[in-house]
Structure 1
């Protein structure tokens, strides 16, 4: 797609020229982070949002690809990696002599055609819970994720077909002894790719996790997640987090997300208050971010930039809010200033 650079930001800045603007320090580009949390904590930190199936097409996820050019595509890479008896690899990546265990049902197979490669979180489910806002490259990376062994798994073909696009509120392996593994891997993949869960899914994951050993789960994020480095409040209840996804329309009006601070013992915020922000967007340069205090004074956290074509925003902004009143409704305003792509505000945390 040829992106149309429409300078909507200029008009917005002119309209707000008379308002009070604070100087902030912004963080650098979003990058992978390592999250290590007990299983139940990781489940609890999964953000809840309504699922949206509109526009889904499996062809939007390019798979299977041969990323390293060795003649074996992603499907065969998984089969080779997960074989309990290593197969011989022939011309065209034909596999022979291997043996595989399908952990969902405990079945053993020697013919690769009896196995499907299951996306732990199905493609359609990922669309419902966030990947609809990704770029084509991000969806391709998700569909061929060899960077985390939990993302793709070789299982009995008809078992995979019975699972379909269902989440753990609707389907878990029939083999009870592997359900904790399944729930852990599902949670890890959702965390790795900053995907949301719906209410029923969150409830099911919470129930299953309560019956499992609360082992530490480690994930390297592929897309920013709002549960990694949220700032810690320095006193009382002077912090808040909003992890409800808010869609940022393409070249549209600003969208807002509110955190209400109440009961904070401090009358005024710190001179080094922090705002942690997670935005999923294919071109973070498109996005501007403003913080509005309870009295509607605004602070520019991030301006749009036509030269920044990197994806996603994972940043902590430091702001002098000492002239404000701590308790009240604080609003984060996010806008896509150029046409061509949409995104969403994933999580933001305010520490006063």
Structure 2
């Protein structure tokens, strides 16, 4: 019996030093393909979807968790690096990008003739030495709210994030030092007119990197946001995102199609046993699933090539939605797969099985939706 699945194509991987070892799950998928059980249709590579939400909604969606400082060391966040090898490290890249008057760039990335405005306190400077590069969400704060579980490469990426202008800011050095590692419940810029900008950027960075907030922090963000324009914020997730989640599976039936969503986070252990998440479909108008059934999967993982995904029907027949691939070095799985499930009973417990097939990093299944 042929199974038709839509799988993501694998772009080339680069810059990855961790040795990858394929294990039994990959061999199982290969055997199924060789036996003619699966017909694969290649689609465009899955991309991490941008998150666009009004400010107050994005704040409301920030997950709350107790902060944990145990084990923190600033040296665990390698900075400043020269990522593009042009002689200017991250500090100088930010200074060049944020200058109100562009500086001349000399040997060794020496800057002269520039002018900078520190938005925290409204001060203007012409000497780069008077400015610090602020991690808008401080390194210690990121550790407390999730970065302690990251790899060293992820912490380095966070500490040198030039991919979002909100992550790093050139500000007066002693103002940055007075801020320290405090969150908006404990510290805000002295210029009240920039408070909305500050909490917007704080929220964007926390969302971009999948970081949590503590109760006091969330209350402060919510309170400040009440006086701000509820503008839509767009964020490109790196580690993860915080979309609106369904706490429990919620099957529905419309026009003969049945849909269920499970939004309970499930941790995917590093090179560990498969984890599963279940959606129970009931009350479908037709007894069997559709030939164009869809499975939308949102997995947060720094290297999606490590991940294999199987769908188990109520009778325990499995469908390979995604095999692991050592050539795919992009982050996250946020895509829909199309499967011919017409031989399956629609009603019953459907299980998504996710496995990390290589060592070096962890992730989590954020949410998945099944329409049969």
- TM-score band by shorter chain is 0.7 to 0.9
CA distance in structure 1 between the partners assigned to 2:194 and 2:313 by the alignment: 49
**Counterpart for residue 177 of structure 1:** 193
Are the counterparts in 1 of residues 309 and 352 from structure 2 also a CA contact under 8 Å? yes
Q: Offset of 1:148 from its aligned partner?
A: 2.1
**Counterpart for residue 38 of structure 1:** 54
Alignment of 1:89-238 (within 5 A): 89-132=105-148, 136-193=152-209, 195-200=210-215, 201-222=217-238, 225=241, 227=243, 235=254, 238=259
Q: Offset of 1:306 from its aligned partner?
A: 4.7
**Counterpart for residue 59 of structure 1:** 75
- Alignment partner of 2:188: what SS? coil
CA distance in structure 2 between the partners assigned to 1:308 and 1:156 by the alignment: 41
Change in Cα spacing, 1:255 to 1:62, as seen in structure 2 (3 Å) is: same
Q: Offset of 1:213 from its aligned partner?
A: 0.6
**Counterpart for residue 343 of structure 1:** 362
Change in Cα spacing, 1:254 to 1:149, as seen in structure 2 (3 Å) is: same
Alignment RMSD, CA only?
Answer: 4.0
CA distance in structure 1 between the partners assigned to 2:116 and 2:97 by the alignment: 10
Change in Cα spacing, 1:219 to 1:161, as seen in structure 2 (3 Å) is: same
Unaligned ranges ≥5, structure 2: 1-16, 247-251
**Counterpart for residue 289 of structure 1:** 309
**Counterpart for residue 261 of structure 2:** 240
Identify which of structures 1 and 2 has the higher relative contact order when contacts are C-alpha pairs closer than 8 Å and 6+ apart: 1
Q: Offset of 1:121 from its aligned partner?
A: 2.2
Unaligned ranges ≥5, structure 1: none
Are the counterparts in 2 of residues 272 and 321 from structure 1 also a CA contact under 8 Å? yes
**Count of paired positions:** 339
Q: Offset of 1:33 from its aligned partner?
A: 4.2
Q: Offset of 1:298 from its aligned partner?
A: 4.6
**Counterpart for residue 11 of structure 2:** none
**Counterpart for residue 94 of structure 2:** 78
Are the counterparts in 1 of residues 67 and 214 from structure 2 also a CA contact under 8 Å? no
- Alignment partner of 1:288: what SS? strand
What's the TM-score once normalised by structure 2's chain length?
0.72
What's the TM-score once normalised by structure 1's chain length?
0.76
